[in-house]
Amino acid sequence: MKKINILLLMAAVAFTNLQCDTSVKGTVIEGNIQNAPGQMQAFLDQVMIGKASNILAKVDLDANGHFEFQFPEGLQAGIYQLRLGAKSINLVLDGTEKKIEVSGDLSTIQTYQVSIKGSKDSQALAGIMSKLFAQQASAQDISNFVDTVSNPVLGAFVSYRALGPNGQFIDTQKKALQKLSAKDPNGEMVQEYSNFITAVERQYQAQMATQLIQVGQPAPNISLPNPNGKKYSLEDLKGKVVLLDFWASWCGPCRRENPNVVKVYDKYKEKGFTVFSVSLDGLDSRTASRLTNQEQIDSYQTQQKQRWVEAIKQDNLKWEYHVSDLKKWESAPASLYGVTSIPRTFLIDREGKIAAVNLRGAEQIEAALQKLL
């Protein structure tokens, strides 16, 4: 009788413990999204680099913007996309997460201005992505992220998203792939990412092969006067790292790019960096043929020169090396360097050799520049 009572007691204790077990089973992704309209749905997709995403589940948001995904079997390590209407963010999971909480405003969620709890890697992803959207992270920051992040899937995905098909930063992508392959050499993501990198590298090599000026060759000299008639020569700047910048006052993209060049110049001018600007302002023969006499030609040329001078002042291009032969698209240096569109840049190392071409944006210029200083 005592044995039966003991068995009954043990069964009762076990049942009580079962009732009191409130631990989370599997994986739950819970969200609270402000300013979400009624009848909105949330989707969770599984993402693979280089392939279309796969929808895993969808749920409705309630009137307060709350939703909840439940995966009783858990979610495997990998990349996921949380979609809310036209807005989306990515999550990177290591496979151990039990409950993930996402909160934010629908109007800013796309730029990763969100709070994420319960997933260390997703928090890290949101941190670097929010900086990218705010233009506060450079290509060098992405390279550093790949070097230091513990989860190679996270490093590969950030590299893929941030650098995309830009062949100038293929070394960072290859580094991310190497770390990913070391963890899972036969994984599908390794193969897909490798295919993507191969395609980017081939396209970049084909593009570079058509350029008149190639990386590694000596930079042809340019010797022209500034607006006041003082002559400057590019070869006199050996020993400095130089950004050779082709632009013009009439070129809208050039004028929008100028603040980026100024930003990099201000940051690195004391470390041996400068800018050599070649303007494609002035008068070409086609325009001159429409003018009736020399007086009109001289007047037109003076106006174009003045626009060049005013643009230098307006855009605060504070370096001294501003030159031009005032022949517009018939500019001798433009022909020498194969320039057919502007803005066009060439980064020249301390030995006077071409180190990079067609850099755009402060991030690209700075990332290439840091390798030379």
- Sequence-separated (6 or more) residues with CB below 8 Å from residue 307: 249, 250, 281
How far apart CA 42 and CA 65 sit, in angstroms, is 10
List Cβ neighbours of 286 (8 Å cut-off, separation of 6 or more): none
In a domain, 12, yes or no: no
Tokens for 342, please give them.
Answer: 């502007």
pLDDT at position 19 over 60: no
The number of distinct structural domains making up the chain is 3
Domain end among 180, 210, 240: 210
99-141: pLDDT as tens digits: 999 999 999 999 999 999 999 999 999 999 999 998 788 787 8
Closest CA to 261 of 333, 308, 332, 312: 312
Tokens 């005592």 identify what position?
2
Query: Are 230 and 323 part of one and the same domain?
Result: yes
DSSP state of 358: S
Q: Is residue 216, in this structure, part of any structural domain at all?
A: no
**Residue scoring higher pLDDT (204 or 232):** 232
Tell me what pLDDT residue 220 has.
96
Strands of the sheet with 322-323, listed across from one edge = 322-323, 273-279, 241-247, 344-348, 354-357
User: Nearest-CA neighbor of 60 among 80, 37, 77?
Assistant: 37
The proportion of the chain whose per-residue pLDDT surpasses 90, expressed as a percent, equals 76
Is residue 335 assigned to a domain? Answer: yes
Q: What is the pLDDT of residues 317-348, one digit of tens each?
A: 999 999 999 999 999 999 999 999 999 999 99
Q: Please give the Cα distance from 225 to 282 (Å, whole number).
A: 13
Sole residue written with tokens 């001159």: 288
DSSP of 119-136 = -HHHHHHHHHHHHHHTT-
Q: Decide which of 50, 85, 119 is a domain's last residue.
A: 119
Q: Does residue 187 share a domain with residue 273? A: no
Residues 69-74 have a mean pLDDT of: 95
Of the candidates 141, 139, 140, the one whose C-alpha atom is nearest the C-alpha of residue 127 is: 141
Q: pTM for the complete prediction?
A: 0.65
Query: Given this model, what pLDDT does residue 4 score?
Result: 37
List the domain range (segments joined by +) for residue 104: 24-119
Q: What is the residue type of 303? A: Q
- Given a contact cutoff of 8 angstroms between Cβ atoms, the answer to whether 150 and 133 are in contact is no
pLDDT (0 to 100) of residue 17: 38
Amino acid code (one letter) for 163: L
Angle subtended at Cα 58 by Cα 56 and Cα 63, rounded to the nearest 5 degrees: 155
Q: Is the pLDDT of residue 1 over 90?
A: no
- E strands present in 48-191: 54-60, 66-71, 78-84, 87-93, 99-105, 114-117
Co-location of 87 and 172 in the same domain? no
Inside any domain, residue 11: no
Nearest to 302 by CA among 227, 369, 370: 227
Question: Are residues 84 and 57 located together in one domain of the fold?
Answer: yes
Q: What is the pLDDT of residue 360?
A: 86
